[in-house]
Chains A and B, each alone.
Chain A
């Protein structure tokens, strides 16, 4: 599947809404209940101020999750997705304005739903030198996903 395949994205977005039990009513515009979609997909999300990989690494560590190298420690980030097993943790920058935080959260959700295996860097702790992927140029597909989630 191409990562920009519109129909595949539409299908996955519809599945995500269905799984979360969200019914689309075009006559009732309002914010997409992202929390509900995240919870039904076993994803946690947290907003941290001054988001960097070092901040994320510390947060994961505080929650008992030990990671090796996550990449450039101090590079400012808008969002980050960490996945293992069937679940994951999405991070957004708490210092960003709300619409941007929601956009970033949907972007990370898009990673999780659409193409974990295609776009994420897989790290086995024993060979932790893998370079994490940076996806600041992939706004086209996540924009599509966001538009397909209603009322955003």
Chain B
């Protein structure tokens, strides 16, 4: 298949996606009729559907997972949700942890800001140092008070500790001086 044919198939796939989104069954049918005479187009349309199904399944899994996490946080406040270790935490997961201390949601403005972050499925960066985490978050979600970002960082650190301590942890103690 040369470049022009490849571009044409891409363009037809775009047309098919547009028809699918608009529920234009006539348009979709015409493209399938054309695909019946063009094996390359037929293959591309099948691949497109496979991709859409995978995306839908992933989205559905994310929705269920997020909904379940919210229910657990709401009804079992003492429960700790430990996400699978290979996945980075999302902003929404940090907000769920942060909201275990409701004192932070002190104003309507703050409530709205937290709601916005609570819907974000964006993964946290690996960096947890306060200034870097704050810069990263403010670049995406806008500014908030240092106190809020401090609570955000601490919520992220609690999630990190919870996850990491299931494998290994270390400790040191300093005894109190004896009286007298």
Residues of chain B whose beta carbon lies under 8 Å from any beta carbon of chain A: 78-82, 128-131, 150, 153-154, 157-158, 160-177
Contacts and interface: CB of A to CB of B under 8 A. Distances in A.
A135 B175 CA distance: 7
B175 A81 contact: no
Closest 9 CB pairs of A and B: A64-B80, A85-B164, A39-B130, A84-B164, A120-B170, A84-B165, A84-B169, A76-B176, A79-B174
B31 to A, nearest CB: 51
B175 A87 contact: no
A83 B82 CA distance: 17
A120 B172 contact: yes
A57 B66 CA distance: 29
Contacts of A134: 173-175
Interface string A48-79: 00010100000000111111001100011111
Q: Secondary structure at chain A's binding surface: helix, strand, loop or mixed?
A: mixed
A42 B160 CA distance: 10
Contacts of A19: 129
Given A39-B129, A44-B158, 19 more contacts: A39-B130, A44-B154, A63-B80, A63-B158, A65-B162, A75-B173, A75-B175, A77-B175, A78-B174, A82-B165, A83-B169, A83-B170, A84-B160, A89-B161, A96-B176, A108-B174, A122-B168, A124-B167, A133-B173
B166 A44 contact: no
A65 B158 CA distance: 8
10 contacts: A39-B129, A64-B80, A64-B81, A67-B169, A76-B176, A80-B174, A86-B164, A87-B128, A87-B160, A125-B165
Contact of B160 (A75, A86, A122, A123): A86
A78 B128 contact: no
Contacts of A79: 173-174
B173 A123 contact: no
A108 B131 CA distance: 22
B171 A81 contact: yes
Interface of A: 19, 21, 36, 39-42, 44, 51, 53, 62-67, 70-71, 75-89, 93, 96, 104, 107-108, 111, 116, 119-125, 132-136
A37 B83 CA distance: 29
A136 B171 contact: no
Which one of B80, B158, B166, B169 has the greatest number of beta carbons of chain A within 10 Å? Answer: B169
Nearest to A138: B174
Contacts of A125: 165-169
